[in-house]
Amino acid sequence: MTEHSDAMDLEEHVFESHDARKIAASLKRSAEHSDRRKAEPFQSAMSMLNFYINRAGKNLPARQKIVLEDAKDELRAAFGRPKED
């Protein structure tokens, strides 16, 4: 799975972190500083996270998938968005 996209520049190995807050902070930074994103920063960051989760699919360890799902909530919080139920 590639961690490079034409949409945003991401920190290397960002999705391998075991800290949901660090993943969200990194995605937020990348989205806010990208000149190549096509949407608002929140939408771009969330899209990249979902893209990675979907692409990694069955190869993603269950524990890491939980971290990445938690990163969605952290990303919402970082952008001041309400948490989804």
Structure confidence by residue, pLDDT tens digits, 27-66? 999 999 888 778 899 999 999 999 999 998 889 999 999 9
CB 42 within 8 A of CB 48: no
CB 53 within 8 A of CB 69: yes
Count CA atoms within 13 Å of residue 10 on its CB side. Answer: 23
What is the pTM for the complete model shown? Answer: 0.84
Number of Cβ within a 10 Å radius of residue 49:
21
pLDDT for 3 beyond 80: no
**Torsion angle of the four alpha carbons 60, 83, 18, 38, in this order, in degrees rounded to the nearest 10:** 70
